Amino acid sequence: MTGEVDRALERKMARYRRDALGFVCFAFPWGKAGTSLAGETGPETWQREVLQQLGSGLSSPEEATRIAVASGHGIGKSALVAWIILWAMSTCPDTRGIVTANTEGQLRTKTWPELAKWWRLAVNGHWFTYTASALHSSLPGRERTWRVDAITWSENNTEAIAGLHNKGRRAFALFDEASAIPDPVWETIEGALTDAGTELFWTVFGNPTRSAGRFRECFAGGRFAHRWRPRQIDSRSVSMTNKTQIATWVKDYGEDSDFVRVRVRGIFPRAGSMQFIDSARIGEAVARPLAPDPTAPLIMGVDIARQGADQSVIRFRRGLDARSIPAGSSASPTSCRSPAGSWSRSTRTTPMPCSSTAPASAGACTIA
């Protein structure tokens, strides 16, 4: 390509800095005879919506734009991951990013090869050099400052994915099959995306295979849902999926089975491997109206924390009412406090000593 043509391409790319969808529609040879996209017209509807959401998020960057997508199988997730990487790299010089996945196999054999396919198709693919572990600028001296790296992680050494700072420019993190990426890896990225005056975004994708963990917490009812823009994609709503196979799964397993929830509907399973009572039953119990029973004894339940970020909790109930009496919690397994009036074993009610600032009428229970 001549220098004049390349400069015109640079100006064109700059227009798409906050228009990821526009970049994808422009950069690849959709419908062009003789290419692998000859029979394609462009992104699926759900992909278009995510790309638009990403671009609009960067238009008002008070903090990192965070998008989470849980989906069934076969919806074109890997292609979207590749487009986002190429858009980020192409529209802002000296962008830095990292990409990781649940396993090294997923990253090396699925996520990264898909990027290679779209890099070869991109109108500006010659701007970058593709390797087994990075995509970086082809310009001399820019290979270290304008790059995205495919990084594997270790739960015991999360520092391998740290160091994403790129103040004043653009930095991004992208997780593939995010449901199986452990919390410490998420926490490391959380600390890296803090540069002021920088375009920051974090996108995470995956099948919703686990009912607990940071990926689940990005969605409705999760601890971090207010900070994310979550989407859940049903495979049946996407034109490229095998509808016959999906119909067979639904017939074999049932529409509301965990198999179909995870692999088709993009919905988290009811119960995790460490969960005794599934989430659906918990939700139903929370929503169920209660009939008060003031004559019932007050029962105390204690859940002692063992390790990590868990907290010890004391919870009281009278009859079926465990809502109107506040719970107490503590990070220490040997010190738990909760306002309460009395403690009962079986049907006998015994007053508890008062040892907190709770109202005297409520009392407090302490385990030492």
Q: β-strands 128-130, 65-71: how paired? A: unpaired
CA-nearest of 163, 159, 141, 26 to 90 is 26
Specify whether the CB–CB gap between 343 and 354 falls below 8 A.
Answer: no
- Is the predicted pLDDT of residue 39 greater than 80, yes or no? yes
335 or 304, greater pLDDT: 304
**What is the mean pLDDT of the segment spanning 138-149?**
95
| pLDDT (0 to 100) of residue 233 | 97
252 or 289, greater pLDDT: 252
Q: Could you tell me the domains of the chain?
A: 3-265 (3.40.50.300), 298-367 (no CATH)
- Is the predicted pLDDT of residue 119 greater than 60, yes or no? yes
- Is the predicted pLDDT of residue 361 greater than 50, yes or no? no
- Is the predicted pLDDT of residue 137 greater than 90, yes or no? yes
Name the average pLDDT for the chain. 84
- As a whole number of angstroms, the distance between CA 35 and CA 279 comes to 47
* pTM exceeding the 0.95 threshold for the entire prediction: no
Least confident of 204-218, 309-323, 332-346: 332-346
- As a whole number of angstroms, the distance between CA 176 and CA 10 comes to 29
- Is the predicted pLDDT of residue 277 greater than 80, yes or no? no
CA-nearest of 340, 331, 342 to 358 is 340
- Is the predicted pLDDT of residue 280 greater than 70, yes or no? no
pLDDT classification of 329: cutoffs 50, 70, 90: low
- Give percent of the chain with pLDDT exceeding 90: 60
- Count H helices, E strands: the chain? 11, 15
319 or 95, greater pLDDT: 95
Indicate the Cα dihedral angle 352, 357, 358, 359, nearest 10°: 100
Q: Which residue has tokens 């990084």?
A: 151
Distances in whole angstroms, Cα of residue 32 to Cα of each of 11, 12, 23, 29, 189: 23, 20, 17, 5, 39
